[in-house]
């Protein structure tokens, strides 16, 4: 408001001074009008900044800390604001709730495949990888690391939303273990292990998977899929094209799921 008042004062002052010195009041009026028009856009950033600063002062009186003035404008444009303080509603920790096959039966092989994938990846391990690594007992983890050796890795990227590691047992065939978002794993899988048998991943099986997945998602659970594929031992690097014709081992029916534990009381 102070800057606006300054503009309202300056225009008449310019009019009086220019008209009194030159004697041409019509020209003085046009010049004063041009000064007023020129001052308005020049002072607009200052007006906006001063207004936001004034809002920050008012919010500070209500015990609100404002670190960025632009946030006040965004805050004023909101209709609904949802917030969560870590430790109040969540603990910022993901836990491995279960590990089963597609039929819903607990399957240690599924957990071991997920553990090998998380253990041998060289990228930044997220909270999900940490939960998987913590889900295997120490003795079992040592046994897996001694039994399986890493051959290669296909790193994670946000386009594929999955990552793979290739491991081998002694001089046997290589095994590609792919872990990632359910839909992305389904896109590269053609078969599924169901009740101990390898069956085609047809439309009936897909509908069953999606139906259960939707139910789990409504419960706030995150489903992660693991698929494997045996390949002949070879030299050289593995590529994205090798992530095809996989056998889905775990998916939505009570699969590897992650959720945030309830807060401590």
Look up the CATH number of the domain holding residue 241: 3.40.1110.10
Q: Give residue 253's pLDDT.
A: 33
Residue 211: domain span: 95-259
> Is the same domain home to 43 and 117?
no
> Is the same domain home to 41 and 152?
no
Q: Give residue 252's pLDDT.
A: 39
> Is the same domain home to 72 and 99?
no
Measure the CA–CA gap between 164 and 25, rounded to whole angstroms: 82
Inter-residue contact 165 to 116 (CB < 8 Å): yes
Inter-residue contact 219 to 63 (CB < 8 Å): no
Which of 76, 103, 134 represents a domain boundary (last residue)? 76
CB atoms within 10 A of CB 15: 19
> Is the same domain home to 156 and 40?
no
Set 79, 84, 170, 171: catalytic member: 84
The radius of gyration of the chain from alpha carbons, rounded to an integer in Å, stands at 32
Inter-residue contact 132 to 152 (CB < 8 Å): no
Residue 265 is assigned to a structural domain of this protein = no
Residues in the chain predicted with pLDDT less than 70, given as ranges, are 1-4, 40-43, 84-92, 104, 250-265
Name the nearest CA neighbour of 129 among 262, 264, 258, 260.
258
Residue 82 is assigned to a structural domain of this protein = no
Q: Give residue 227's pLDDT.
A: 94
Q: Give residue 229's pLDDT.
A: 93
Instruction: Answer whether 0.75 is exceeded by the pTM.
Output: no
Q: Give residue 177's pLDDT.
A: 95
Measured N-to-C along each axis, helices 127-134 and 108-120 cross at an angle, to the nearest 10 degrees, of: 130
* Catalytic (active site) residue 84: yes
And the tokens for 152?
């290669």
> Is the same domain home to 151 and 197?
yes
Q: Give residue 108's pLDDT.
A: 86
What's the domain count of the chain? 2
Residue 81 is assigned to a structural domain of this protein = no
Eight-state DSSP code of residue 106: B
Q: Give residue 42's pLDDT.
A: 65
């Amino acid at each position: 408001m102070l800057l606006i008042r300054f503009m309202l004062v300056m225009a008449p002052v310019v009019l009086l001074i220019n008209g009194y010195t030159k004697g041409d009041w019509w020209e003085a009026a046009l010049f004063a009008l041009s000064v007023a028009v020129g001052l308005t856009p020049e002072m607009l950033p200052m007006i906006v900044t001063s207004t936001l600063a004034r809002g920050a002062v008012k919010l500070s009186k209500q015990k609100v800390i404002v670190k960025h003035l632009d946030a006040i404008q965004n805050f004023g444009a909101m209709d609904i604001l949802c917030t969560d303080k870590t430790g109040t509603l969540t603990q910022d920790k993901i836990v491995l709730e279960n590990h089963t096959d597609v039929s819903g039966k607990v399957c240690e092989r599924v957990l071991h495949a997920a553990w090998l994938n998380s253990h041998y990846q060289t990228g930044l391990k997220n909270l999900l990888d940490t939960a998987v690594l913590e889900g295997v007992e120490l003795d079992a983890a040592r046994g897996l690391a001694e039994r399986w050796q890493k051959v290669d890795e296909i790193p994670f990227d946000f386009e594929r939303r999955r990552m793979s590691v290739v491991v081998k047992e002694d001089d046997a065939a290589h095994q590609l273990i792919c872990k990632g978002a359910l839909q992305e794993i389904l896109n590269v899988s053609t078969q599924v292990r169901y009740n101990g048998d390898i069956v085609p991943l047809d439309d009936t099986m897909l509908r069953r998977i999606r139906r259960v997945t939707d139910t789990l998602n409504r419960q706030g659970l995150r489903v992660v899929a693991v698929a494997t594929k045996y390949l002949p031992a070879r030299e050289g690097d593995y590529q994205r094209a090798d992530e095809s014709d996989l056998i889905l081992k775990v998916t939505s029916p009570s699969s590897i799921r992650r959720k945030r534990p309830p807060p401590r009381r």
